[in-house]
A = this chain, B = another copy of it.
Amino acid sequence: MLIEHAVTAADKLFYQLRKDIVEGVVAAGSKLSEAELASQYQVSRAVVREAINRLSTSHLIERKANVGARVVSLTSAGLDELYQVRESLEGMAARLAARHMPVAEIQALEALLDSHLSKVKGEHSYYQEAGDVDFHYRIVVGSQNKQLINLLIDGIYHLVRMYRVQLGMAGPRVTTAFDEHRNIVRAIADRDEELAELLMRRHITYSKHHIQLKLA
């Protein structure tokens, strides 16, 4: 997983807030008061404002002039829209990864799946969280399209995680998702662009249905 090093105070608060929002520590739909956050985190309002501004890049908040910022709400329609975009972009990422991903990175990805396999047998919890994120993350990077990488990694991924974390994602899907990952990597290793995109889109569709069960 990528390590984002916080150099400035606004960085730290931004990462902290993003984490808290994704994990629901700061509730969805709640208002972000600048003064409140400033005293709570012991920083000036300037850094709070900067952190909030950056959160809007991740589509985690909505800001209105002279009114303030609110954490986005999680809705069924919102999940649909998000996953439509995600399917399109990540499908393309898988296609481009099949075209451009260096063999070294592909082998590393296969090794990652191997390490996941052993862990899946024991504890189910690890895999579906960090493991799945890491898997998708590597494929996106493998696409070698900076525009796409930014859009997904800095953008909608966090909102995706927010839906997944807060609406839960347990059950038998853990292991079936693993097989889907296997097949996607195989398609990439075979440089089969069509299949890689198809499998990735299908994988994401399954994932959406799984989340929607909780939402409906």
- Residue numbers of A with Cβ under 8 A of B are 7-8, 11, 46, 49-50, 53-54, 56-57, 59, 65-66, 78, 81-82, 84-85, 88-89, 91-92, 96, 145-148, 150-151, 155-156
Find chain B residues with CB under 8 A from A89 CB.
Answer: 85, 88-89
Find chain B residues with CB under 8 A from A85 CB.
Answer: 89, 92, 145, 147-148, 151
Q: How far is the CB of A59 from chain B (nearest CB, A)?
A: 7
Say whether A84 contacts B65, CB under 8 Å. Answer: no
Give Cα A53 to B59, complex, Å.
14
- Given A8-B66, A50-B53, A85-B92; 4 other pairs, CB 8 A cutoff: A84-B148, A85-B145, A85-B148, A88-B91
Question: Interface majority SS on A: helix, strand, loop or mixed?
Answer: helix
Say whether A147 contacts B81, CB under 8 Å. Answer: yes
A sample of 14 cross-chain residue pairs with beta-carbon separation below 8 angstroms, ordered by A number, consists of: A7-B65, A8-B65, A59-B150, A78-B147, A81-B146, A84-B145, A85-B89, A85-B92, A85-B147, A85-B151, A88-B88, A88-B92, A151-B151, A151-B155
Partner of A147 from B50, B59, B147 at Cβ < 8 Å: B59
Q: How far is the CB of A51 from chain B (nearest CB, A)?
A: 10
- Pick from A59, A82, A85 the residue with the most CB of B within 10 Å: A85
Which chain B residue shows the least CB distance to A150?
B59
Find chain B residues with CB under 8 A from A155 CB.
Answer: 151
Give Cα A65 to B12, complex, Å.
12
Q: How far is the CB of A37 from chain B (nearest CB, A)?
A: 17
Q: How far is the CB of A189 from chain B (nearest CB, A)?
A: 22
Give Cα A66 to B82, complex, Å.
34
Q: How far is the CB of A190 from chain B (nearest CB, A)?
A: 21
Give Cα A69 to B78, complex, Å.
33
